[in-house]
Amino acid sequence: MKSLIPLLLVAAPLAAQAPARAAATPVRPLPAPTATSTDSLGSIAAVRQLSNGNVLVNDQVRRRVVLMDSTLKVIGVVADSTSSTANAYGVRPGGLLAYHGDSTLFIDPASLSMLVIDGTGKVARVMAAPRPNDVQFLIGGPFGNPGFDSRGRLIYRAFPRPNFTRNADGTPGTPEFPDSAALVRFDLGTRTLDTAAFFRIPKQNMTVTRDENGGFRVMSTINPLPVTDDWAVMSDGTIALVRGREYRVEFIGADGARTVADKIPFEWQRLSDEDKVAFIDSTRAAMERRRTQFANGGGAAANGGNVTIGAGGDGGGGVQVMTMRVRGDGAEPPRRGGDRPRNGGSASGGNRDSAQIQFPPINFIAPSELPDYKPAFSVGSVRSDMDDRVWIRTIPTKPTTGVTYDVVDRSGKLVDRVQVPANATIAGFGKGGIVYVGVRDGREIRLQRVKIN
């Protein structure tokens, strides 16, 4: 019998952090916008500002790339999933990143290709993407936002290969996942690749068992507060690697030279035994609510079959759930939001397959395995702006109405702390202190431009 089993991306055990230190830099709110888009968008995954003030916006939900003018009015569609453009967006969410000058790369993971978009918003040519196993790591998001160094090499996180074991009877055993990943540099001209650095990632802890129907059940043990590293490519091509244990930035130049900055001041929050139990309980409740919504068909189609479950209500890291149909002879990838439903169902989730979802219990690490101090940030929290600064989305240490970013300069010094409203997400940057923010107002999502300097 076929069954649907969620695979949970989980985290590694934690170590205690250093004693708490107060952050001297005050938090200031994000200023009022100087422009707001006239058109509503399905999503805002990435924004690329051009030299003339126009911007390219990657709308992954509606599967299109649109061109807006300096007033944030849509003036063209660069790629979409209909016949209105010669260059289709593709059937999976794509990525958008700056290339040479005003040119931009659009990553299509389905076709393993990269569209080169010129400064006018036209597709100039198509290039082959790097290694097939790595292409999913080029679209941005929780795996980091790729960029180019000063030598023109594409920097991105490589696919961390798990070790798939097998039991004595030949059935799949427990997969062994690494707790680190490589940042690599890929030369598009010579098609050669080298490793720039390794960094800590959340470790997946899974066990595989066989059920009474001959299928396989994957069980995960979740750590909702992983100590992790994160990274970004700065506007000058330098790699900024943020270390989670020490909360400091390590800069890596194109020549491999490394500079380790001082620790970033942070108001570390100590977790008592009672705090740890409460955090696990709140995380479990939040995930159960989200799983119930998913089982009832809510949000699965619009998000391409993937669901993100927040770990607790106080800004801890996220846990991403991927749905797979597991059979005795292998696994079938999740259906995409735009695919034709099976069994005569609807794309919104109201089909017979949705009633067959079988969720295993949610297993968490013991509260005692949580850290003595809450980590400063979670996975996918680091971005770089166009003024050689690194923005780090921090985990709140006290109740807050928004999300606070620590802003670090090229020397690794904390120079600003900016609070972004809870209904807003940073989507990109422009030169001179420009920040592009996606804002949700009810069912409407609009792009706003803010100047922080």
Residue 261 has pLDDT above 60, yes or no: yes
Cα separation, 438 vs 426, whole angstroms: 6
pLDDT of residue 412: 97
pLDDT of residue 287: 86
Q: Quick one: pLDDT band at residue 317, thresholds 50, 70, 90?
A: very low
Radius of gyration of the chain measured on its C-alpha atoms: 22
- Supply 135's token pair: 């292409």
Give one DSSP letter per residue of 58-86, joined into a string.
EETTTTEEEEE-TT--EEEEEEESSTTSS
| Residues above pLDDT 70, as percent of the chain | 77
pLDDT of residue 21: 53
For the residues 227-242, what does the mean pLDDT come to?
Answer: 96
Residue 354 has pLDDT above 50, yes or no: no
- Supply 269's token pair: 């929050």
Neighbour count for residue 20 (Cβ, 10 Å): 12
Q: Are 264 and 414 in contact (CB under 8 A)?
A: yes
Cα separation, 422 vs 335, whole angstroms: 30
- Supply 182's token pair: 């490589």
For the residues 396-413, what does the mean pLDDT come to?
Answer: 93
Q: What is the mean pLDDT of the chain?
A: 81
Query: Where is average pLDDT lowest: 13-17, 345-349, 359-363, 397-401?
Result: 345-349
| Residues above pLDDT 90, as percent of the chain | 59
- Supply 379's token pair: 């996975």
Q: Are 350 and 343 in contact (CB under 8 A)?
A: no
CA angle 447, 451, 453 (to 5 degrees): 160
Of these ranges, 2-6, 133-137, 251-255, the one predicted with the greatest mean pLDDT is 251-255
The number of residues in the chain equals 453
For the residues 233-258, what does the mean pLDDT come to?
Answer: 96
Give one DSSP letter per residue of 269-282, joined into a string.
-B--HHHHHHHHHH
Residues paired with residue 401 on neighbouring β-strands, in sequence order: none
Cα separation, 104 vs 380, whole angstroms: 22
Q: Which segments within 110-247 are labelled E, that is strand?
A: 113-117, 123-128, 147-148, 154-157, 180-187, 192-200, 205-210, 216-222, 230-233, 239-243
In this predicted model, what pLDDT tens digit does every residue of 205-224 receive, in sequence order? 777 666 777 676 777 788 88
Neighbour count for residue 113 (Cβ, 10 Å): 16
Residue 346 has pLDDT above 60, yes or no: no
Q: Quick one: pLDDT band at residue 172, thresholds 50, 70, 90?
A: low
